């Protein structure tokens, strides 16, 4: 299962629909705590994170994703390159500007499924 940590309902729906289109299941959650609970469930294969979510403890989330063996990707508003830098420092595997992430969403998710 793919868990998407997003606070934009429309982005969450797009992720869920893209996952469904390629034969995967995705669930959008709106908080860091919900993401942590999902990771603890042991069924999360991939975690998608909107880096612009306020109160996100990215370092902790990266550690927990690694412990759960979840593939981690993130996206950020292209005007906020500091979020990208922070994600890179935290060890996020794939980081995309929001527009590219949304444009290439099915391919990004399919890349994970093909591994």
- How far apart are alpha carbons 59 and 64 in whole angstroms? 9
pLDDT for the residue 111: 83
CATH number at residue 52: 3.40.50.2300
pLDDT for the residue 113: 67
In the predicted model, residues of the chain with pLDDT beneath 50 are none
What is the residue range of 33's domain?
2-113
Q: Residue 49 in 3-state DSSP?
A: strand
The pTM score is 0.90
Q: Residue 22 in 3-state DSSP?
A: coil
Phi/psi zone of residue 111: left (φ > 0), alpha (ψ -120 to 50 degrees), beta? alpha
**Number of compact structural domains in the chain:** 1
């Amino acid at each position: 299962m793919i868990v998407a940590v997003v606070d934009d309902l429309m982005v969450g729906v797009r992720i869920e629909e893209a996952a469904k289109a390629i034969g995967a299941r995705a669930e959008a959650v709106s908080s860091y705590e919900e993401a942590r609970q999902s990771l603890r469930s042991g069924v999360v294969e991939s975690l998608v994170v909107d880096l612009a979510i306020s109160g996100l403890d990215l370092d902790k989330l990266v550690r927990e994703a690694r412990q759960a063996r979840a593939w981690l990707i993130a996206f950020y508003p292209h005007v906020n390159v500091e979020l990208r830098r922070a994600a890179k420092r935290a060890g996020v595997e794939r980081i995309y500007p929001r527009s590219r992430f949304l444009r290439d969403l099915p391919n990004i998710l399919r890349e994970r499924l093909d591994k």
